[in-house]
Amino acid sequence: MAKREIKKVVLAYSGGLDTSIILKWLQDEYHCEVVTFTADLGQGEEVEPAREKALKLGIKPENIFILDLKEEFVKDFVFPMFRANAIYEGEYLLGTSIARPLIAKKQIEIAHQTGADAVSHGATGKGNDQVRFELGYLSLDPEITVIAPWREWDLNSREKLLAYAEQHGIPIDKKGKKSPYSMDANLLHISYEGQILEDPNAEPEPDMWLWTNAPEEAPNTPEYITIGYEKGDPVSINGETLSPATILRTLNEYGNKHGIGRIDIVENRYVGMKARGCYETPGGTIMLKAHRAIESITLDREEAHLKDEMMPRYASLIYNGFWWSPEREMMQAAIDKTQENVTGEVRLKLYKGNVTVVGRSSEHSLYSEEHSTFEEDEVYNQQDAEGFIRLNALRFIIEGKQQPRRRTLQEEEVCRIETKSVTICERIKRWFGFHKEEKA
């Protein structure tokens, strides 16, 4: 099939093996100008070396974009997600998923800025990221052309990639050394896939975990911290007001120290297969616990329950790449409405992999001690509960009077089973008795 005519493409570029090869491949296969975009999302690695690598591969200086997105990432993507208490399949805090819509957004912005007519990514044809990137691109620019090299080329093994790199003089650090895991990191988490983890019954090697202390090796003394909230977002730690990225970075430090945030899961990918992954999300684990605690005293019961019912759908939308969809934005508006009074402080105890809420307070608290107390009070008449219960039981009472045969049939079934059991027991007794007589 003939290649599409592309004049300029914006590549999501990390400077690693895959994207360096993609850069050269785009030049050779599409004969187009390449613009590189490297996002600093707090992954803990230097991003500036990507500039030098891009220059060596012939990229013009004005076509190299390296952007510090840490504050935008946390403020506009991580925090809104945590207002929803989003967890995918009960455990995954969506660390990789939530980074993709921001990268897609910036690629489209750079494409418009530089006059590019295409965008490209390094996601494989087996994973979720291809879906997340491309749904983002097409949501933000329906006319953009998307190039996904892993779905086009035949470089489908590490050996072929290394041979291609050597053939084209692509500088690769530690060339030929097979990395133990496929990893993705940002300020919210680090993930591990591949190698030994492809066996869901194999325990991860202890030295795989790069961020957190093992819980059994964490400090023997618990540490207490206080997180301040305004309208559903954390704004301070121990009374000190901090920026969104600084808050998450600080909570990561606490979580790493105390062995908090490790999970080992098998998840259902959007493309259909199951995949085993290990994740470290130290600050996010602390934030989730704290946010649910401040909500517990500031949200109305039905408001909180309805929000919890919405959460799995919201989490799936993010996992599957639908951040820019109208349904996610609609749900976000509803979620954000619930956060208007989610302001106050939460006190937490951190100890050997655990986060325990030990206190919560808010000027908007709905907790009424005089109503909840087990001691004598003057605000609640316990006799009111009788009418409340009878009204809730009214449909059962009516049904029991109007449809008595239902109960009779149930009773007959019980009797039939009991009778059958007695008959079987009698037969067994007789059988044993008969054989005893024979032996005698």
Residue 352 region, left (φ>0) first, then alpha (ψ -120 to 50), else beta? Answer: left
C-beta separation of 344 from 92 below 8 A: no
Dist. CA 180–CA 184, nearest whole Å:
13
Q: What is the Cα 51 distance to its own chain's centre?
A: 30
- CA-closest candidate to residue 229, choices 417, 79, 47: 79
C-beta separation of 294 from 344 below 8 A: yes
Dist. CA 99–CA 96, nearest whole Å:
6
Assess whether 361 carries a catalytic annotation.
no
Structural tokens at position 439: 């032996």
C-beta separation of 208 from 183 below 8 A: no
φ/ψ of 234, rounded to 5, equals: -70, 135
Q: How would you classify the pairing of strands 33-40 and 64-68? A: parallel
Assess whether 158 carries a catalytic annotation.
no
Dist. CA 387–CA 393, nearest whole Å:
10
* Amino acid in position 118: A
Q: Which listed residue (14, 18, 51, 120) is catalytic?
A: 18
For the four alpha carbons of 170, 176, 181 and 186, in that order, the dihedral sign comes to negative
Q: Which listed residue (76, 117, 141, 182) is catalytic?
A: 182
C-beta separation of 430 from 436 below 8 A: no
What Rg, from alpha-carbon coordinates, does the chain have?
30
Assess whether 100 carries a catalytic annotation.
yes
φ/ψ of 321, rounded to 5, equals: 100, 15
Dist. CA 244–CA 160, nearest whole Å:
42
Assess whether 18 carries a catalytic annotation.
yes
Structural tokens at position 148: 């996904």
Residues 193-211: b if buried by 16+ CB within 10 A, e if exposed: bebebeeeeeebeeebbeb
Instruction: List, in sequence order, the alpha helices (H) in 198-325.
Output: 244-257, 282-298, 301-320
C-beta separation of 324 from 129 below 8 A: no
Q: Which listed residue (40, 129, 184, 233) is catalytic?
A: 129
Q: Which listed residue (51, 83, 100, 360) is catalytic?
A: 100
Q: How far is CA 24 from CA 49, 74, 108, 134, 433, in A?
A: 17, 33, 21, 21, 89
Query: Active-site positions?
Result: 18, 100, 129, 182
